[in-house]
Every structure is written in C-alpha cells, then in structure tokens.
Amino acid sequence: MSKKNDTNRTIIQYFEWYVEGSHVLWKKCRAQAPRLAEFGITDVWLPPAYKAGFIEDNVGYAVYDMYDLGEFDQKGLVKTKYGSREEYQQAVSAFKKSGIRVLADVVLNHRMGADSFEDVQALKVNPNDRNQTWSEPYTISAPTRFMFPGRKGKYSGFTWNHTHFTGVDWDNNNPVTGNVYRFADKAWAHDVSREFGNFDYLMGADVDVNNPDVKAELIRWGKWYLDFTGVSGFRMDAVKHISASFIKEWISAMRDYKGEELPVIGEYWHGDVGVLEEYLNQVDGSMKIFDVPLHFNIRQMSYADGNYNMADILNGTLLQRRPENAITFIDNHDSQPGQALESFVNSWMKQVAYALILLHKNGTPCLFYGDLYGIPCTRNIPIPRLRTLVRVRHDYAYGEQHDYIDDYDCIGWTREGDDAHPNSGLALLLSDKRDGKKRMYVGKRFSGTCFRDCMRKVREDVIIDDDGYGLFSVQGFSAAVWVTWQAFENLVINED
C-alpha cells in the first residue's frame, strides 16, 4: 500500500448496537488496529467509553459518569460493556501507533441512572409540542442527583443536581412513562431542532448547557478527556437536541486547547438537506455531519426492485450540496434492525452503495462495523469485498472525476489518477437492475492500458483507446470497479 495520506480519509464505526458485551471490544480494537490500517482505514469512531446508568442498557448512550471509563465500581460493575479503562487507553494507543486517528463518541445531551431524587417545581408539557404546557407548576420527584460515590471525586469534584438540568421524563411520585416535565425556572434552549415544537429534550435528565457551571464543567471534561485518553477528535451525539451556540463554543474551546483543527463529526438525524444546511450555518461549518439524506436515498433505491432513477441518487444530499461537510454512510447503530431509527439498507445493495461513497471524489465515507464483520443476532452477513473497496479508495481513487450519472439503471464515473499515486485511476459502474455498458473517458495517459474489474464479476479486459476512452460494463444489481492491470494484480495479491 502507499503511504498514509490526508486526501482519501476513511472512517469506520467500530461497533454495532448488539456487539458482544463481555468486555472484549477494546481488546479486539488493539488486535485489529494494524489490519485496519493495512487495508486503508484512517479514522476509527469508537463507542461511548464511559459508564452508563443501567447495566441492562450499557451501550454507552445512557450516560451516567463521563469520568468513569471502566475504572470504578459504579452501577453494578467496574468495566463498561467494552472493557476497562486501561484496555480503552491501550486500544487508542494501538490505533495511533498504526497511524489511525481515534474519534471518541461524546454524549453531552443527557444523564441517566441518578443516585437519588430531588423535589423540583416542574410543569408537565405536551410530548408532541414541548412549547405547550399541560399544567401549572407543581412538585415532582426528579432523578437529578448524580454524586458518583464509587469515584469519590477522582478527576473531578463536580456533582450534579436539578439546577444543572432543564427537565426530565420521570416523576417518582407518579411513576408513569411517556411524560415530559420542564423545570419551572428553566426554558428549553432556543437554537435546537424545531421538531415537536422544540426538541431540546430527548431523554433522561436534560443537561442545561446554558448554565455557566455546566458549561465550564463540560469544557473542563473535554480537555481532560483529550489529555487522559489521547484521542484525536470527537463524534458528537444528538447535536440537534443541544444548543447550537454551545456546540460551536465547545468545539472552539477544544481546538484552542489542542492548538489544532481536531476533527469533529456531528450526528443530526434528519432527511431534509435544507435542515442540515441550516444547522451547518448555525455552527459556522465547524464540523462535518452525517449525510442522512443520502442514506435515505440509498435505502429507497435498495427496496425499489429496480424502479428507482439512479440518476437522482445524489439529489438533495450533503454530498451534492455541502460536500466539504458530508460524512457519507450506508448504515449505523441507529439504523440497524431493532433500533428506534431502523432504516437498514437492503443487503443486496450494500456493495453498490459502498462503491458509491468510497470512490466518489467528495465526502468522507464511514463504514459500519456490522457491514465489515456481520451482525450475528440479526443474521446480517459481511459485505463481500468491502476491504477491497477501501483499499481501492486509499491507493487508486485520485485525479479528476468525470461523471456519467445519466441513466435510470446504470450510472458511474471515472477518476484520471495522478502522478503522486502509482497506478491510480479507475472507472466505476453501478447498476440497480440490468446489465449495462458505458463508454467513459479515463484520460489519454491510459491509452493502450488494460483495465480489469476488481470486483471480479466482469471477466473481460478493457483496453483504453487512443482518445482515452474505454467501453466498460457491469452486471445487473452490482458494482464494477475497473482499475489498471497493475493495480488489479496488487489487489489480488493483497485480497481480503
């Protein structure tokens, strides 16, 4: 492989919701880091590493103590689902040694699993319109005291009470699910998603990021986390539920502290690209965000039985409208089967979809752990030749792109390659139904060169003519990725 570079970065989300929970993931990370780097992964997004509020829901998003990375006896266990604090730090070190940046999952929106309750004046609000109140203020018993008795003040003496939150979904005096309560002396943040009137509240005890003490503590924690773990950047969860002005301030504080442009990715789950563009404007483009509209386009195509206009696949996406901010993905832990946002892409389409996001000149693609290794509990198998596609991206997907996104059932593009990457350049064809052919330009530099399909489905070679064109083909319902014969031979030698 060629030397690591910053041009074609490729992220992997290194977990899925049901990944084995016997404290082994950090050990697997440490063992697999060199292999991931070898086939072209440059960045890894790890799951929340801190203690969750409930043993039965310990994926990490039900945040209890962000300073407990599997070190203290709290909430019924010492280790987290993924392992111990030492194992986490060893995993981060292993990735960095292999040249891979580590992105830590940051959940700043809420806390769960409180140590005790407090009497608080609150108003019941309409769950479907959080701007509408259903009661006058009255006293509820709210789960808002977080004392962290197992940690005993190590790393931070900050403890949480009701003044640090804006609302909850639980009254211990009236234990009924489905309610939302806003504290009488608090207001929802204004610069959040307008879904449900105001989508500041998501779950648990909703963190009041506009409280000066909370703001200072979250910034202090972020600096501690960077130093203590050695991670390279952050994936920020549920940003549409958190004040955009706070997010911008927090990111700025982290970058000022590090003295560099540390990478930050935000999760704003919405299918309207206009909403995502509005958010990016609110935060001054300070992060990349997931291209949810492209995910939905791909999913729709995957279930359309060939009745989808592939020429429209990029319409209304961040990849089309804000490519510099687009994190492209096929699926993740939220969209996988059994989750609240389930929208899993049909398995037959996965290889086609990954070829699309990995070999396009724009966007930063993110692989899903479940697509690389499979998801045993839902019987989803690994996607064939996914490692090969990542390797092609890393080594050969360079140079000017020429688009042929002009057909209902067959689209593609070419990359001309460049002098900095030996044997670079490619031709891509994607089909959602029928066999197809396109005469495409790859560049006169390739005149007389033999190209071969590294997906190993189309067996005939293509010889580039004197004008730099070749007649490329693809089987129906598949992807064909044509590279020079020298690149092909290297891929075969290093086959996944």
Which tens digits make up the pLDDT trace of 328-358?
999 999 999 999 999 999 999 999 999 999 9
Question: Mean pLDDT across the chain, nearest whole number?
Answer: 96
Known catalytic residue at 261: no
Q: Is 174 left (phi over 0), alpha (psi -120 to 50) or beta?
A: beta
Rounded distance between C-alpha atoms, residue 453 and residue 450, angstroms: 10
Strand partners, 309: none
Is residue 450 packed enough to be buried (19+ CB in 10 Å), middle (13-18) or exposed (0-12)?
Answer: middle
Known catalytic residue at 237: yes
Rounded distance between C-alpha atoms, residue 295 and residue 432, angstroms: 16
Q: Which residues contact 20 (CB under 8 A, 6 or more apart)?
A: none
Residues in the chain: 496
Query: Is this model's pTM higher than 0.95 or not?
Result: yes
Rounded to 5 degrees, φ, ψ at 20 are: -45, 130
Set 38, 118, 267, 418: catalytic member: 267
Position 1 pLDDT exceeds 50:
no
421: confidence class by pLDDT, cuts 50, 70, 90: very high
Which tens digits make up the pLDDT trace of 234-264?
999 999 999 999 999 999 999 999 998 899 9
Q: Which residues contact 333 (CB under 8 A, 6 or more apart)?
A: 13, 15, 16, 17, 47, 59, 339, 368
pLDDT at 496: 54
Set 16, 105, 169, 237: catalytic member: 237
Rounded distance between C-alpha atoms, residue 278 and residue 244, angstroms: 11
